């Protein structure tokens, strides 16, 4: 029998039995099956190659892990199950071809930026706490690269990374805050620029034009999309951009990270393979992590925990601090504000963020005297907020009504950059 097109249909009425496909149809089916199998295998092989490449990009920090195990009994314990604390360290190392263009490699590195990320157990928010590099604190005895050990001493915070790398910085943060650090990531200059370029730049809004030879920035006022090199100059500039203070530099970093989060969460990146793969390739090849994050699976689990957090619940703040009493060009913790912040994070308890109160801004620093005056004025607002301010014990001056979460000075990723 044939169908309306005259093509044999493979059946015959005689005896009601079906005839097997003819030779041409058998060959067609065989080659279709082979093609489909090859397509599936090629897709699987390609997917495995991509996974293996990205997974192999990540550098595992085994030396830090070994050093932390040595002092495990001294480290803080978790008070809240399910919460995670990740220390993000920006290194100013000039080693390697991607970093050598930023200056001469002198064999040393310090933490140019350090941010403690707190991810609560319910995964409904994220708190990023900047730790000033000039903060004076106790640094424990640490293992140096040459095998010798430093002695415990009171010094500037970012020296910990120079003396003992990530392990020394983690132990310093844990001793200062009482917060257990679960994971850490170290990103250098070259890695930062690669990641920004991979997503097509990050948008910021400038209130005034920037012409900064030291930071290699020349930008007009208003909305600007910063590419890698421009972004690095924007977040690192200190003495020649703004009022010259580390406070303003950290504020710029927090606003930039907020814009970066919004860009990465957008469909233009996460659902665009042309942008997602370069971002993953840049990120995995640019970070050094603890063994727990040193795999594509480990990083994926981390990202999955934060990708759906609303931007207004991604909070940025700086540890409450004030000018150090012995040297106004350095910082010290502002108490009891800092202790209350650390306690809230340790216990995985909520906190609120409010914008800083406006303070007078002076011209860029030129003398130690003007620098001290400026830092003292900034410290008046740093760590304070209009309501529920830290430093007041829970329940003090209240009735039986629930005590509101304390409010700290900061911003969120949901804040519009241009208004």
Q: Is the pLDDT of residue 205 over 50?
A: yes
Between CA 283 and CA 88 the distance in angstroms is: 13
Supply the mean pLDDT for the chain. Answer: 77
Give pLDDT tens digits for 79-114: 888 999 999 998 764 444 443 444 444 455 667 889
| CA–CA distance, 5 with 364 (Å, rounded to integer) | 86
- What is the SS3 assignment for 308? coil
Could you tell me how far CA 193 lies from the centroid of its own chain? Answer: 14
State the pLDDT at residue 239.
Answer: 58
How far CA 253 is from CA of 149, 158, 234, 397, in Å, comes to 33, 17, 8, 36
Q: What does 360-378 look like in DSSP terms, one character per residue?
A: ---SPP-SHHHHHHHHHHH
Q: Which runs of E-coded beta strand occur in 193-326?
A: 202-206, 210-212, 217-219, 222-226, 287-289, 314-318, 321-324
Instruction: Please give the residue that has the higher pLDDT: either 286 or 45.
Output: 286
Q: How many CB atoms sit inside 10 A of residue 74's CB?
A: 11
CA 184 to chain centroid: 10
Rounded Cα gap, residues 156 and 330, in angstroms: 8
Q: How confident is the model at residue 315 (pLDDT cuts 50, 70, 90)?
A: very high
Say how far residue 219 (Cα) sits from the centre of its chain.
25
- Lowest-pLDDT range of 19-23, 208-212, 262-266: 19-23
H/E stretch holding 44: helix 23-57
Evaluate whether the domain defined by 58-412 bears CATH number 3.40.1160.10.
Answer: no
Give the max Cα distance, the chain: 109
Q: Look up residue 16 and give its DSSP letter.
A: G
Q: Which helix (H) or strand (E) holds 273?
A: helix 273-286
> What's the pLDDT at 402?
59
Give me 358's structure tokens: 């406006």
User: Using one digit for the tens of pLDDT, what is the confidence trace for 150-169?
Assistant: 999 999 999 999 999 999 99
Distance CA 156, CA 174 (A): 16
pLDDT tens for residues 20-30? 557 666 666 66
Residue 332 pLDDT more than 60? yes
pTM above 0.95, yes or no: no
Q: Tell me the average pLDDT across 376-401.
A: 47
β-bridge mates for residue 348, sequence order: none
- Rounded to whole angstroms, how far apart are CA atoms 286 and 96? 12
pLDDT score at 100: 40
Q: Which of 48-52, 274-278, 281-285 has the weakest average pLDDT?
A: 48-52
Q: Which of 37-41, 236-240, 365-369 has the highest mean pLDDT?
A: 236-240
Residue 97: phi and psi, rounded to 5, are: -65, -30
H/E segment holding residue 408: strand 407-412
DSSP 136-205: EEEE---B-TTS-BPPPEEEETTHHHHHHHHHHHHHHHHHHH-PPP-EEEEE-HHHHHHHHHHTT-EEEE
């Amino acid at each position: 029998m044939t169908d309306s097109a005259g093509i044999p249909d493979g059946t015959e009425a005689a005896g009601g039995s079906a005839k097997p496909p003819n030779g041409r149809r058998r060959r067609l089916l065989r080659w279709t099956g082979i093609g489909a199998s090859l397509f599936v295998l090629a897709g699987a092989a390609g997917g495995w190659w991509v996974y293996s490449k990205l997974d192999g990009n990540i550098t595992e920090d085994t030396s830090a892990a070994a050093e932390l195990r040595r002092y495990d009994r001294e480290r803080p314990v978790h008070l809240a199950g399910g919460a995670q604390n990740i220390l993000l360290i920006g290194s100013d190392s000039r080693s390697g071809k991607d970093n050598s263009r930023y200056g001469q490699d002198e064999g040393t590195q310090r933490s140019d930026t350090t941010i403690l990320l707190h991810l609560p157990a319910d995964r409904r928010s994220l708190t990023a706490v900047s730790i000033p590099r000039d903060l004076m604190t106790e640094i424990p005895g640490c293992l140096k690269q040459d095998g010798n050990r430093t002695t415990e001493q009171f010094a500037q915070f970012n020296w910990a990374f120079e003396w003992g790398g990530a392990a020394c910085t983690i132990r310093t943060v844990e001793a200062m805050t009482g917060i257990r650090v679960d994971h850490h990531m170290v990103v250098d200059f070259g890695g930062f620029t690669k990641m920004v370029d991979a997503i097509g730049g990050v948008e910021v809004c400038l209130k005034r034009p920037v012409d900064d030879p030291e930071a290699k920035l020349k930008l007009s006022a208003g909305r600007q999309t910063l590419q890698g090199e421009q972004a690095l100059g924007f977040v690192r500039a200190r003495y020649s951009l703004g009022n010259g203070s580390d406070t303003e530099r950290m504020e710029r970093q927090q606003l930039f990270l907020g814009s970066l989060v919004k860009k990465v969460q957008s469909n233009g990146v996460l659902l665009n393979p042309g942008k997602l793969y370069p971002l993953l390739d840049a990120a995995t090849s640019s970070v050094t992590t603890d063994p727990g994050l040193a795999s594509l699976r480990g990083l994926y689990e981390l990202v999955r925990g934060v990708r759906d957090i609303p931007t207004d619940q991604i909070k940025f703040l700086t540890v409450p601090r004030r000018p150090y009493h012995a040297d106004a060009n350095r910082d010290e913790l502002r108490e009891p504000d800092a202790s209350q912040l650390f306690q809230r994070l340790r216990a995985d308890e909520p906190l609120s963020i409010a914008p800083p109160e406006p303070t007078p801004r002076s011209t860029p620093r030129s003398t130690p005297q003007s620098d001290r005056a400026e830092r003292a004025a900034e410290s008046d607002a740093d760590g304070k907020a209009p309501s529920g301010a830290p430093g007041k014990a829970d329940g003090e001056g209240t009735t039986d009504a629930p005590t509101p979460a304390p409010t700290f000075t900061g911003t969120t990723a949901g804040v519009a950059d241009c208004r």
